[in-house]
Amino acid sequence: MSLWTRISEAVAALRQGESLSMVFERLRTPPERTVAFTIAVIALSAKMAKADGRVTRDEVAAFRDVFHIPPEDEPAAARVFNMAREDVAGFEQYAGRIAKMFRIDGQPCGTDSVLCDLMEGLFHIATADGEYHPAEDAFLSRVAEIFGMEDIAFQRLRMRHVPEYAPDPYSVLGVSPDDDLSDIRAAWRAEVLQTHPDRMIARGVPEEAVRLAERRMQAVNRAWEDIQAARAA
């Protein structure tokens, strides 16, 4: 059964009166977690669009770039999006439910978590139209806080996606300019490992969304190359 078929079933439950929160509760274990991840991105994207007051074609295209959506399954994705946008529940309630599902108790949400993968998708969609609205920044900052994301992890995400926050290669890798090159290499290798599609799928990211890894991998590799070039000069 395809991801979008399972999402269609979740949409059917929503139409029968279940709330998105109730649907999330039923999707807590694999392989249903991949459905929950996809619905979470759709739902929070809808709430984010409501935050800045508009949904642009670029943002819609960015969502389709993150997820492979067959034409016959687009109505299911659109229904979830519209339900989330029209739901009276606030985005904080959604984010709280999602955090409860994916966060490991007592552990911070770093760059190796499915919640970070989810935030990656939201940043990708938020910046797709070439503008990063202050309302989007406030929205994503609050979602990251609810997810328990470490501030440094959030800053690194924003550096990778928002042109105004010029990425410093050391910050991208979460290291210091004073660190030995061997330690920086180890940090780079760890980032590459965590960004590998197989690792992402194991965390609960659906195969249809592994494109999320592409930009992250490009940024990580570029940072390592820049540091190597600077050290060799």
163 is written with which tokens? 């042109």
CA-to-CA separations, 216 to 119, 195, 204, in angstroms, rounded: 12, 7, 17
Sign of the C-alpha dihedral computed for residues 24, 198, 212 and 143 taken in this order: positive
Helix (H, G, I), strand (E, B) or coil at 131: coil
Number of domains in the chain: 1
Domain that holds residue 60: 3-232
- Rounded to 5 degrees, φ, ψ at 131 are -135, 135
The pLDDT value given to residue 19: 67
**Residues shown for the chain:** 233
Q: Could you report the per-residue pLDDT of 26-62, keeping only the tens digit for each?
A: 666 655 677 777 777 777 887 887 776 665 565 566 6
Q: Could you report the per-residue pLDDT of 15-25, keeping only the tens digit for each?
A: 676 666 666 66
